[in-house]
Structure 1
Amino acid sequence: MSNHSAARRTATPDDVFDALGEPVRRQIIARLRTGPTPVGKLAEQLTVGRPAVSKHLRVLEGAGLVHHESRGTRNLYALAPEGLVVAQQWLVGMWDTALTGFADAVVDEVKRRGENR
């Protein structure tokens, strides 16, 4: 799939999570797991119309989560796995920080208890 917005800046975690904060967009992402899909088929599977699906897809593309390719009169959309990497890296960083904080608290508590004996 080609990405028509390849020259745009790299998506940030805020871009990705803002895009995924909308339930319809998460539904679109879930439906694209099976492969490239035309806008019309996505619209048939959702509770919003085709124009709304197109707007949601533009937001997802702007966040780097989907790519699209024009084939004749059809626009096919597919997941852009590299877009999800931004979210994954942010989550891993948050988790690592939380686990480090927890480990430090355990060490401090062990030291404190050792000093009180």
Structure 2
Amino acid sequence: MTICYEVLGDRLARLRRSQGLSKTDLADRLGVTVTSICYWEQGRSRPRLARLQALADLLGTSPAELLSRDSAPGGDHLADLVGRMRAEIAYAAGTTPSKVRITIEI
């Protein structure tokens, strides 16, 4: 089975287009430059946390959904979720997933 991941920039571009917004529209509504939107969509930079909620609101999603990686359908089992989150945490921390330990208390 192949798992396809959508990176943040691709997700932003897809959601922006689905809302019928141009890069200029989004930049104006967020109070940032068009260059910032271009860099986010190209993966050259990421939106600051202070802008994340406003960005998610404009795109009709949540900040967590913006930052998560999408997997192929059927990937919502706990092991798949933990694996995806391990990869996200490792990416954010600048390390490898094998160095990330996740504990779940129920």
Superposition TM-score, scaled by structure 2 size? 0.32
Structure 1 or 2: larger strand share? 1
Superposition TM-score, scaled by structure 1 size? 0.30
Structure 1 or 2: larger helix share? 1
1 or 2 for the larger relative contact order (CA 8 Å, sep ≥6)? 1
Return the index of the structure with the highest Cα Rg: 1
